[in-house]
Amino acid sequence: MLIGAAIAAALSLATVGRLAGLGASYPTGTPELVRDLVFADQPDGSVRITDAGTGKIVEVATGEQGFLRGTLRGFARERRRDGADLAAPFRLTGWTDKRLTLEDPATGRHTDIEAFGSANAAVFVRLLTEPERSPP
């Protein structure tokens, strides 16, 4: 019974903290690099990533891409829950304080990518800095 009470207390505190915005902070720097990206699942299982401004391909992510796919699944789940446009672009921002954020303007959700470690952040850094390619 004590363990159940501890779990309930932890869940309650986490919920209150999330609703109050505690623990979530926006970067203190200024945007250094910003790119609006559209992520689209392809029939072969890959994810086509295009620059929303130019319509040109940034990357086609193939294989598992666990962190990228997991992050996008969480954002897509919130879009479906809120009834937001599933095809709307996301905003990827590199800040002068060395933070990297992915924001969904359609729902207002954002996440600090660098908080998941440098290997995971490198996936999104590449998307921020990769030159565009013309569509095939």
Q: Is the per-residue pLDDT at 31 higher than 60?
A: yes
pLDDT band at 15 (very low <50, low <70, confident <90, very high): low
Q: Is the per-residue pLDDT at 68 higher than 60?
A: yes
pLDDT of residue 27: 63
pLDDT of residue 22: 47
User: What's the whole-model pTM score?
Assistant: 0.73
Which residues lie across from 133 on neighbouring strands? 57
User: Rounded to 5 degrees, what are φ and ψ at 37?
Assistant: -125, 145
Summarised one tens digit per residue, pLDDT across range 88-136 is: 999 999 999 889 999 999 999 999 998 888 888 998 998 988 776 655 5
Domain boundaries in the chain? Answer: 27-129
Q: Is the per-residue pLDDT at 19 higher than 60?
A: no
The two three-digit tokens of residue 19, written as one number: 């609703």
pLDDT of residue 50: 92
* Closest alpha carbon to 132 in 52, 62, 31: 52
The two three-digit tokens of residue 50, written as one number: 């295009």
The mean predicted confidence, pLDDT, of the chain is 83
Question: What percent of the chain is predicted at pLDDT more than 90?
Answer: 37
